[in-house]
Amino acid sequence: MVNLQGIKQRFEIIGNDVHLNRALEKAIQVAPTDISVLVTGESGVGKEAIPKIIHSLSHRKHYKYIAVNCGAIPEGTIDSELFGHEKGAFTGATQTRSGYFEVADGGTIFLDEVGELPLTTQVRLLRVLENGEFLKVGSSKTQKTNVRIVAATNLNMLEAIRKEKFREDLYYRLSTVEIHLPPLRDREEDIHLLFRKFASDFGQKYKMPTIQLNEEAKALLIHYRWPGNIRQLRNVAEQISVLEKERIITADVLRSYLPADASGANLPAVVQQGRRQSDFSNEREILYKVLFDMKSDLNDLKKLTLELLKHDNSEKVQAENEKLIRKIYGDGEDVVEEGSAVSVLPAAQTDTEFSVPHKTPESTDKYHFAEEIEEEETLSLQEKEIELIKKALERNKGKRKAAAAELGISERTLYRKIKQYDL
CATH number at residue 402: 1.10.10
Residue 377: its H or E element: none
Average pLDDT rounded to a whole number, residues 172-185: 96
Residues 173 and 190 in one domain: no
Average pLDDT rounded to a whole number, residues 141-150: 95
Identify the weakest region by mean pLDDT among 128-142, 172-186, 253-267, 304-318.
304-318
Residues 200 and 344 in one domain: no
Average pLDDT rounded to a whole number, residues 188-197: 95
Distance of CA 243 to the CA centre of its chain: 32
Identify the weakest region by mean pLDDT among 62-66, 74-78, 104-108, 350-354.
350-354
Distance of CA 380 to the CA centre of its chain: 23
180, 203, 237 - which closes a domain: 180
Q: Tell the burial category of 43 from Cβ atoms under 10 Å away from its Cβ (0-12, 13-18, 19+).
A: middle
What's the pLDDT at 180?
97
Residue 374 lies in a domain: no
What's the pLDDT at 377?
46
Residue 211 has pLDDT above 60, yes or no: yes
CB 369 within 8 A of CB 244: no
Residue 271 has pLDDT above 50, yes or no: no
Q: Are strands 341-345 and 354-355 parallel, antiparallel or unpaired?
A: antiparallel
Distance CA 328, CA 331 (A): 9
Residue 142 has pLDDT above 70, yes or no: yes
Average pLDDT rounded to a whole number, residues 352-378: 45
Average pLDDT rounded to a whole number, residues 29-39: 95
CB 134 within 8 A of CB 80: no
| pLDDT band, very low/low/confident/very high, at 316 (cuts 50, 70, 90) | low
Residues 20 and 115 in one domain: yes
Residues 33 and 86 in one domain: yes
Residues 168 and 197 in one domain: no
What's the pLDDT at 297?
72
| pLDDT band, very low/low/confident/very high, at 289 (cuts 50, 70, 90) | low
What pTM does this model have?
Answer: 0.61
Average pLDDT score over the chain: 81
159, 180, 201 - which closes a domain: 180
Distance CA 185, CA 227 (A): 8
Residue 279 lies in a domain: no
Distance CA 170, CA 155 (A): 15
Residue 92 lies in a domain: yes
| CA dihedral over 284, 285, 291, 294, signed as positive or negative | negative
The letter for the amino acid at 254 is L
Residue 371 lies in a domain: no
Residues 96 and 28 in one domain: yes
Count of H-run helices and E-run strands, the chain: 17, 14
Residue 217 has pLDDT above 90, yes or no: yes
For the chain, how many structural domains are there in total?
A: 4
Residues 140 and 48 in one domain: yes
For residue 415, which of 75, 143, 151, 182 has the smallest C-alpha distance?
Answer: 75
What's the pLDDT at 75?
87
Residues 257 and 289 in one domain: no
What's the pLDDT at 383?
78
| CA dihedral over 194, 50, 165, 409, signed as positive or negative | positive
For the chain, give the percent of residues with pLDDT over 70.
74
CATH number of the CATH domain containing 127: 3.40.50.300
Distance CA 60, CA 198 (A): 32
| pLDDT band, very low/low/confident/very high, at 227 (cuts 50, 70, 90) | very high
pLDDT higher at 74 or 408:
74
Domain around 319: 284-355
Residue 275 lies in a domain: no
What's the pLDDT at 1?
59
Residue 366 lies in a domain: no
Q: What is the DSSP secondary-structure string of 28-71?
A: HHHTTS---EEEE--TTS-TTHHHHHHHHTSTTTTS-EEEEEGG
Residues 210 and 336 in one domain: no
Rounded to 10 degrees, the C-alpha dihedral 33/98/154/401 comes to 180
236, 264, 292 - which closes a domain: 264
What's the pLDDT at 422?
78
Residue 244 lies in a domain: yes
For residue 346, which of 363, 359, 334, 337 has the smallest C-alpha distance?
Answer: 334
Residues 168 and 200 in one domain: no
| pLDDT band, very low/low/confident/very high, at 309 (cuts 50, 70, 90) | low
Residues 165 and 215 in one domain: no
Residue 367 lies in a domain: no
Residues 15 and 114 in one domain: yes
CB 138 within 8 A of CB 115: no
| pLDDT band, very low/low/confident/very high, at 412 (cuts 50, 70, 90) | confident
Across the strands, what pairs with 97? 85
CATH number of the CATH domain containing 203: 1.10.8.60
What's the pLDDT at 134?
94
Provide the CB-side half-sphere exposure for 86 (13 A, CA): 11
